[in-house]
Amino acid sequence: MNVLIANRGTLLQLGMLTAPAYLILPLCGANPQIFLVVFFLGNAWGILSHTEIIKRLGLLENVLITPSNHRVHHGNQKHYLDKNYGQVLLIWDKLFGTYQRETEPPIYGLVDQLEKQTVWNIQTAGLQRLLKNLRATKGLSAKLRVLIAPPGS
């Protein structure tokens, strides 16, 4: 893990589209210095949550996205899919039913491996797979399920 890896993303995430809170805070009058500190601390916690060195953090496991809680997010086992989205607090995952405690070491990676390892394919594979599934699905309600259902369902 290094800073470049920790701050990776796809071309589709340009402009912080996946972090609307960071776009809303300045518009709500948040002090720019506070905004930058919160942004920095959130990223720092996100980087620290990717360690394998720290196993469990006691009572903090029930409140924070710890390394143990975050490892689940990267696991490709069925019971780990679509779980533990939070970056700092667990409350949102518990509220929306997406929390899963680490019960076994996760197997990291994609559910389905990429056919080609080109930059374009790596950047767009998720979107390509979604569009392919939408084209193969008949009926509006079935297409909507493709958009909101968990992977593999």
Model confidence at 140, pLDDT cuts 50, 70, 90, reads: very high
107 shares a domain with 83: yes
* Residues 66 and 31 reside in one and the same domain: yes
Claim to verify: residue 35 and residue 76 sit in the same structural domain: yes
101 and 57 assigned to the same domain: yes
Shared-domain flag, residues 44 and 34: yes
**Are 32 and 67 in a shared domain?**
yes
Whether residues 117 and 98 fall in one domain: no
Rounded CA separation 22/35 (Å): 8
pTM above 0.85?
no
**Same structural domain for residues 55 and 104?**
yes
Number of domains in the chain: 2
Question: In whole numbers, what is the pLDDT of the chain averaged over residues?
Answer: 83
Per residue in 86-103, pLDDT tens? Answer: 888 999 999 999 999 999
User: What values do phi and psi take at 136, rounded to 5?
Assistant: -85, -10
24 and 35, same domain (yes or no): yes
The residue from 111, 126, 143 where one domain ends is 111
57 lies in the same domain as 130: no
How confident is the model over 139-152, as a mean pLDDT? 85
Residues 106, 61 within the same domain: yes
Q: Give the residue-averaged pLDDT of 53-74.
A: 92
How far are the Cα atoms of 6, 23, 30, 86, 124 from residue 9, in angstroms, in the given order? Answer: 9, 17, 26, 17, 11
For the cut 90, the answer to whether the pLDDT of residue 70 exceeds it is yes
Place of tokens 């890896």: 5
Task: Using alpha carbons, list the distances in angstroms from residue 50 to 74, 77, 129.
Answer: 10, 18, 27
Contacting residues for 83 by C-beta, under 8 A, at least 6 apart: 72, 73, 93, 98, 99, 100
The encoded tokens of residue 86 equal 């939070």
- The label of the residue with tokens 């975050």 reads 70
Please say whether the beta carbons of 50 and 1 come within 8 A.
yes
35 and 77: one domain?
A: yes
Which structure tokens are listed for 54? 């720290």
Range of the domain at 86: 3-111
The pLDDT of residue 1 is 46
Q: Could you tell me how many residues make up the chain?
A: 153
**What confidence score (pLDDT) does residue 152 get?**
60
